[in-house]
Chain A
Amino acid sequence: MANCPVCRAPVDEEAAKAQTGMTSGGAKEVDPKMGTRQFHDGTWYYLCSLDCRNKFTRDPDGYLKQ
């Protein structure tokens, strides 16, 4: 279990990545309610919502220092 780097809410990384369906083109589909993620400096960070992700993308290093 990770913590959202913006609001510190718990985010289940495995649930965010877990396959819940498949697109008609054959790609894995995930449940959007399980949070989202952001690739930053070679690492995936898991965030609880798009709102937090928007804040994170504006100043990722600032949030990671907190």
Chain B
Amino acid sequence: MDFAYTPEQEALRRDVRQFIKDNVTPDVLQEADTESSTAQDQPRGMSPKAAALYKKIYDRGWLGITYPKEYGGQGKDRLTQYIVEEEFTRVGINISLGGSGAPAIMAAGTETQKQFYIPGLIKREITFALGFTEPHAGADLANLRCSAVKDGDYYVINGQKMYTSAAHYATHIYLMARTDRNAPKHEGISIFLFSMDTPGVTVRPLWTIQNNPTAPIGTTYGHARTNETFFDNVRIHKSCLLGEENKGWRVGSMGLNLDRVGASRYLISVRRDEDIVNFVKNNKFDGFDPGKNPAIRDRIAEMWIEAQVCRLMTMRSMSIVERGGKFTYEGSAEKVWAPEHGVRVTESITQMLGPYATLLRTSPHAVMDGVFGHNVMGSFQSGINHGSVQVMRDQVARRGLELPSSRRSAKKVEAK
């Protein structure tokens, strides 16, 4: 077993780094990372300089690398995607297709849906808002109540979604709704894809503590603005259904699992490890060299070991997906380990730097432009969104270890 990169892969990495050096200048980077805070702003990554950068990246064949050529992709392997994505993510440029919609469409979509959505997502002409979470549902997505009622060739949607983060700049929504209220809660769910300008779709801004003040590029996982989205008698054609009616839970779960595989997710949790190592190497305080302190060296070495576990889990997941193997709980395991590693790193950095670790970039005493302070807010969030670590552990127990689900056990107890 060889974990080393091939000479071709190393050459690709050098090529990407050179491209970044030549094209990702600070002004371009600032624009590409600028958050869209109002509906009237340029959508994120769509300002003129950012759009020109993404066009260059697209022309080099580095967007949609793993997607088939007939849908506008490159038809290449996941390790190629990983190398390119890792380099761009390190400088704060997101080249992923933005969520679980694309992999779900590839797995369950009709030919028409694939032909329409996949090239549009790769060229960044289409952006999805993820319409899964609901205010009353808690961490269990299957508690959703947003309903889609069949009416001839149409579905009529009523209900609401919470934390639809891209809703103020998305062109389309990837929505999970209940199509059979009498079925068990994980059944009777369907997924729909439709345009945000469909009559009856309303967006209400929600403001969070994230990215306020604006964080250094690549620091936070989330953004200051997210949204609630309401659906009042939204009428959509049956061709908007993704996959089979009432089988949306499997499609949605699979899409989320696949979205967890890749360099972006891995790097979110390990980038501060690299920052603290650089900080310790490059700073001395009145003769005190933190790199020589046994306690600091011990913690940093431990963080590095944990980060290698994150990397290996990512590689294993990619390998399973690449071989077309059954991929069920591996992404969930990664989604537990990586965010919790990020939290442990945050705690360790706070112990090393004391109160300085919590200062945001607006403070004159902020360390490394406040990356650690902003990370305090960002790292905890990543254990909640895209499936909380508690739900992920449950999936590992059920799917990986084949333990009975707590819900079914409870029913059996009642039957006795």
Partner-B contacts on A (CB < 8 A): 17, 19, 21-30, 32, 36-39, 42, 44, 50, 53-54, 57, 60
Contact = CB atoms under 8 A, between A and B. Distances in A.
A29 B201 contact: no
A57 B136 contact: yes
A26 B196 contact: yes
Nearest to A25: B196
A25 B145 contact: no
B135 A23 contact: no
A57 B170 contact: no
Contacts of A30: 202-204
Contact of B167 (A17, A19, A23, A42): A23
Given A23-B167, A24-B39, A38-B160, A29 B135 contact: no
A39 B136 CA distance: 10
Contact of A25 (B169, B205, B207, B228): B169
Contacts of B66: none
Between B38, B129, B202, B232, the greatest number of chain A beta carbons within 10 A of the residue's beta carbon is seen for B202
A22 B136 CA distance: 26
B112 interface: no
Contact of B168 (A24, A50, A57, A60): A24
Contacts of B37: none
B202 to A, nearest CB: 5
Nearest to A53: B135
Interface residues of B, number: 36
B283 to A, nearest CB: 42
A28 B169 CA distance: 12
Contacts of B36: 24
A17 B202 contact: yes
A61 B202 CA distance: 26
Contact of A39 (B42, B160, B170): B160
A46 B223 CA distance: 27
A50 B232 CA distance: 20
B10 interface: no
A24 B169 contact: yes
Contacts of B71: none
Interface of B: 36, 38-43, 127, 129, 135-136, 145-146, 158-160, 167-172, 195-197, 201-207, 228-230, 232
Contacts, number: 79
Contacts of A29: 39, 168, 202-205
Contact of B195 (A19, A25, A36, A60): A25
Contact of A36 (B39, B40, B170, B204): B204
Nearest to B38: A21
7 contacts: A23-B39, A24-B39, A25-B171, A25-B172, A25-B195, A27-B229, A57-B136
Between B205, B206, B207, the greatest number of chain A beta carbons within 10 A of the residue's beta carbon is seen for B205
A44 B150 CA distance: 20
Nearest to A20: B39
A27 B197 contact: yes
A53 B206 CA distance: 13
Contacts of B232: 44
Listed from nearest, the 5 A-B pairs whose CB atoms lie closest are A26-B197, A25-B196, A57-B136, A23-B39, A27-B196
A29 B228 CA distance: 10
Between A23, A39, A57, A60, the greatest number of chain B beta carbons within 10 A of the residue's beta carbon is seen for A23
Nearest to A34: B204
A61 to B, nearest CB: 12
Contacts of B43: 24
A42 to B, nearest CB: 8
B135 A27 contact: no
B392 to A, nearest CB: 23
A22 B39 contact: yes
Contact of A27 (B158, B201, B206): B201
